[in-house]
Structure 1
């Protein structure tokens, strides 16, 4: 079973063996889907039996990630999580509550980024954490070394590391050779517990409810568990996916300057030089919308998604899928399938615009957020899309992004990404400069709003 960028191995296997692959690891049936049509036929159209989650012995059971919404078994607790998410961020109207706060945070980050462009990745992560913690817990992060952001970063890094490989010696005693990971799992469990409980304790200590209706009355033990993990899921999921997509956007702008110029021309023509773009400009900036979609497609944030589990035996297209099988959609390949996207390695927003009678290519949100009843659409799709769109629009309005020049040599970044459930672009260098003094003034103005 591949554990380093498994989506690449799955793609090669798909070319050799077909769209539905079967792997057996110590009796566990694993089915990999390399076709968008097959994934939709199975995970969408048969969602009643393909919506469970497998038990993850280390990451889920020993460390505790089984309690986040994405890994809950299909049932009542999951439905309660989804209801909470819908109330808070489930519609564009609900998301409108947070627009000014998010915009101010992005402007503040842009102000810092213009002064320290070499710390882009840290700025993006800090801003995403600030926006989500404000929504999930009503918490305003510190400018530097915020304890909640720091512990979440550690917990997410540990989750990414544990999902890179399959740990099979779960029932072995700790002294058994190779079972030392149990000691590590205990330490990582404590990190996760701190990430979940510390922000919640902050809310309780402030004697206010979890911000914007996660809870507004005394809680039972079950209610408290649901609220804590809903809030933690919102922070862990939405912040990390947003960070990944925004970093890939900066990478794309570094490599595709013509796209950047076209996007900036649209902003200049529609928004003008006297203000920054806002969410209300979305319908007037179609190219920016297409660019945001292309950022989600070009870099697959969850290359193999979250695994599904079959709750009963199924026969699909002549294949027997036993109950308990783990089903993995190869999202990375679907987003780069040349039969779906023309020249998939090219960063080309125009593929999502109707031009000269040509229909837009397949909407990436039907793939990148997962499939069936467990797709991200039921939790944070509006939050992620709005955050990505606004980050892109504001960044392009005020910055010129280009390749770094060192000793007279232009540095061309590699297009590569990390392994893990949530994948990030590998670190890269780029030049970020304000487009004008007016742009700097607008950033400062919005940051202090």
Structure 2
């Protein structure tokens, strides 16, 4: 009778087999090391991939320093048989991710086992592999969120912004929560024609829970299963299988986010309720029902719509928080921006007819995007073919990261990059040079922060429109100042950031008040 093999022995055998396979890959890589881009020294097998195993704000700064030390804007990290190519310059990112997008648009799904398989986010448009389903989803998203098509949804942004102003007036101390409701409410309304509840909205709660989980899941090195996918077969009770329990907890919220708003839309439609123009309605009437495979297209569309909701919440929210932080820390910039808004809008609130008429606000939005970028490193691309760039070989399967932080802190493009200065994007204009306009010679951060190539953020036009109308409206009616302690002393925020997969300011307090009684009345009249 064959000897019994226990679970521990079986598991150990699987791990050894996987390590041997990785080691063979490592030895193969080692024979051609001189052909690769330069990189920091590493150790056998684990290589130098530990460069990323540190707080994100240190990792991307160290990557940039490493690039300068190597006198190269392209650096290679490696370990566990994996190549990671870091692009430190805008030009390198354009050359590879834009101009060679046909072979640089895949995602390293094999290193996203926790996200795609265990948590159940394989439908997430942003992280799907570069296959036909992703292409079909991309067509859907770009169809609904192109620059021209999205303009029909601008009234929703105005409506939700006015709700935000009312919330700020009623309970300014909860400004962070109010911003969260704004972002979630905009997407719910535009995608599903669902109006978010003022309190305890179940759709917003599910999205917020997943967004918090994403900060952990997507941070490099958090879960060993992303390096050793075979661990996904470990039973939940097995020692060290806490990741399986985490996944089970998050998976319910994932399914709620995917199914519940879409099901609610269909219930309203089937009961003949009035449904306003929204993405779900447009896709159902013009794409799904006319498809040769409506069941497949319905699944693709449902995932794409949930991805729009998931992808836009935490990222846009972080920029709003940064804006308020900067206004508190830089009252001179706040007052200058308010003067420019007043000059155009006078005693009314801004609207999209004012776009382009307030260059200082345009510059302020750009600087908010640049100064502390939401994503310091872009979502990883995967190269699908061996190819040569300059004098280097970039092998098939390489993970490619654009160092967004480095590009936006390039001193040649943005002098004194750590300083918050909207005027870097302006140039004098007018007969006497007393006016200002956007300087087209200074690179617009939107060319960087929204990604590159075929993986560029499809919701970028919505995100920018939302930022512009919200920031301009807040400047029009509110003052942002430091909070006071019990003794009446002003307390400035620390200005510190949490640097995870998504970077955002640490919670802070401030005082938010209407600029005058007339401004308070303007807000009150909006609510009636």
TM-score by length of 2: 0.80
- Give the corresponding residue for 2:159: 104
- Give the corresponding residue for 1:322: 395
**Structure 1 position 213 matched with structure 2 position 282:** yes
1:360 CA drift (Å): 4.1
- Give the corresponding residue for 1:10: 63
1:129 to 162, 173, 184: 184
- The within-5 A match list for 1:110-121 is 110-121=165-176
Deviations 1:11-57 (A, max 9, x none): 33333334222122211111112222211222112212111111111
- Give the corresponding residue for 1:245: 319
**Cα distance between partner residues in 2 of 1:318 and 1:226:** 41
1:335 CA drift (Å): 0.9
1:186 to 229, 248, 253: 248
> Alignment partner of 1:119: what SS?
helix
Unaligned runs of 5+ in 1: none
1:65 CA drift (Å): 2.4
> Alignment partner of 1:206: what SS?
helix
**Cα distance between partner residues in 1 of 2:119 and 2:520:** 45
Kindly indicate whether the alpha-carbon contact (under 8 Å) linking 2:216 and 2:501 is maintained by their aligned counterparts in 1: no
**Structure 1 position 276 matched with structure 2 position 329:** no
Deviations 1:62-117 (A, max 9, x none): 212232111122232222222222232212x3223222222122111111112222
1:48 to 102, 116, 140: 102
Kindly indicate whether the alpha-carbon contact (under 8 Å) linking 1:164 and 1:419 is maintained by their aligned counterparts in 2: no
Number of paired residues? Answer: 444
1:176 CA drift (Å): 4.4
Deviations 1:128-179 (A, max 9, x none): 1111100011101111110000111001111111112422233231344423
1:304 CA drift (Å): 0.6
**Cα distance between partner residues in 1 of 2:279 and 2:264:** 10
- Give the corresponding residue for 1:39: 93
Deviations 1:261-293 (A, max 9, x none): 1111111111101x1000110121111111111
1:366 to 418, 422, 447: 447
> Could you say what the CA RMSD is over the residues aligned between the two structures, in angstroms?
1.9
Unaligned runs of 5+ in 2: 1-49, 270-274, 434-438
Kindly indicate whether the alpha-carbon contact (under 8 Å) linking 1:266 and 1:287 is maintained by their aligned counterparts in 2: yes
**Cα distance between partner residues in 2 of 1:14 and 1:402:** 40
- Give the corresponding residue for 2:308: 234
Kindly indicate whether the alpha-carbon contact (under 8 Å) linking 1:88 and 1:212 is maintained by their aligned counterparts in 2: no
Question: Given the superposition, is the C-alpha separation of residues 31 and 257 from structure 1 closer, same or farther in structure 2, using an over 3 Å criterion?
Answer: same
TM-score by length of 1: 0.94
Kindly indicate whether the alpha-carbon contact (under 8 Å) linking 1:160 and 1:420 is maintained by their aligned counterparts in 2: yes
- Give the corresponding residue for 2:501: 421
**Cα distance between partner residues in 2 of 1:334 and 1:298:** 11
- Give the corresponding residue for 1:350: 423
1:250 CA drift (Å): 0.6
- The within-5 A match list for 1:22-101 is 22-55=76-109, 56-91=112-147, 93-101=148-156
> Alignment partner of 2:198: what SS?
coil
Kindly indicate whether the alpha-carbon contact (under 8 Å) linking 1:404 and 1:430 is maintained by their aligned counterparts in 2: yes
> Alignment partner of 2:179: what SS?
helix
2:202 to 128, 147, 152: 147
Kindly indicate whether the alpha-carbon contact (under 8 Å) linking 2:128 and 2:134 is maintained by their aligned counterparts in 1: yes
**Cα distance between partner residues in 2 of 1:240 and 1:359:** 29
**Cα distance between partner residues in 1 of 2:495 and 2:450:** 22
Kindly indicate whether the alpha-carbon contact (under 8 Å) linking 1:108 and 1:444 is maintained by their aligned counterparts in 2: no
- Give the corresponding residue for 2:337: 263
Q: Is 148-157 or 187-196 further displaced after alignment?
A: 187-196
